[in-house]
Amino acid sequence: MPEGPSILHLKNRLQRFKGKTVSEASGYSEMDKSAIDYIKIFDIDAYGKNLLFVFKDFFVGVHLGLFGSMLVNKRKKVNASFSLHFPHSEINFYVAHPKLYEGKPTDYFNFKTDILKEEFDGEFVLSTLQQHYADQMIGDALLDQELFTGVGNIIRIEALYRAKINPDSPVKNIPEKKLVYLIETVVNYAYEFLDQLKTDEVKEKTLIYGKKICPKDKTELIIDEMGKVKRKTYVCPKCQKMYS
Shortest CB 189 distance to Zn ion, Å: 17
Site for Zn ion in 31-60 (CB under 5 A): none
Size of the site for Zn ion (CB under 5 A): 7
Burial of 113 (0-12, 13-18, 19+ CB in 10 A): buried
Q: Are 236 and 216 in contact (CB under 8 A)?
A: yes
Nearest CA-CA partner of 11 in 65, 76, 61, 86: 61
Nearer to Zn ion, 197 or 207 (CB): 207
Residue 238 contacts Zn ion per CB under 5 A: yes
- Nearer of residues 174 and 208 to Zn ion, judged by Cβ: 208
Nearer to Zn ion, 77 or 218 (CB): 218
Please list every residue from 68 through 107 that binds Zn ion, using CB under 5 A.
none
Q: Please report how close the Cβ of residue 192 comes to Zn ion at its closest, in angstroms.
A: 20
Among positions 216, 228, 230, 232, the unique one binding Zn ion when judged by CB under 5 A: 216
CA distance 22 to 157: 39
Give 141 or 239: the residue with its C-beta nearer to Zn ion.
239
Told to check if 239 binds Zn ion by CB under 5 A, we report yes
Picking from 139, 143, 11, 125, the residue whose alpha carbon sits closest to that of residue 64 is 11
Smallest gap from Cβ 107 to Zn ion, in A, equals 45
With binding defined as CB under 5 A, does residue 217 bind Zn ion?
Answer: yes
Handedness of CA 106, 107, 111, 114 (dihedral sign): negative
Instruction: List CB contacts of 225: < 8 A, sequence separation 6 or more.
Output: 231, 232, 233
What are the residue ranges of helices labelled H in 198-228?
none
Q: How far is the CB of 238 from Zn ion (least distance, A)?
A: 4
Least distance between Zn ion and beta carbon 157 (Å):
13
Interface region with Zn ion, contact rule CB under 5 A, candidates 119-127, 188-196, 201-209, 217-225: 217-225
Give residues with Cβ within 8 angstroms of 198, minimum separation 6. Answer: 9
Please provide residue 15's backbone torsions phi and psi, each rounded to the nearest 5 degrees. -60, -25
Window contacting Zn ion (CB under 5 A); options: 68-76, 103-111, 178-186, 213-221:
213-221
Contact status: 214 vs Zn ion (CB under 5 A): yes
Q: By the 8 A CB rule, do 220 and 212 touch?
A: yes
Is residue 236 at the binding interface for Zn ion, with CB under 5 A as the rule?
yes
| Contact map string, positions 2 to 21, toward Zn ion, x by CB under 5 A | --------------------
- CB-count burial class (<10 Å; 0-12, 13-18, 19+) for 58: middle
Among 107, 108, 120, residue whose Cα is nearest residue 151: 120
Residues within the interface to Zn ion (CB under 5 A): 214, 216-217, 219, 236, 238-239
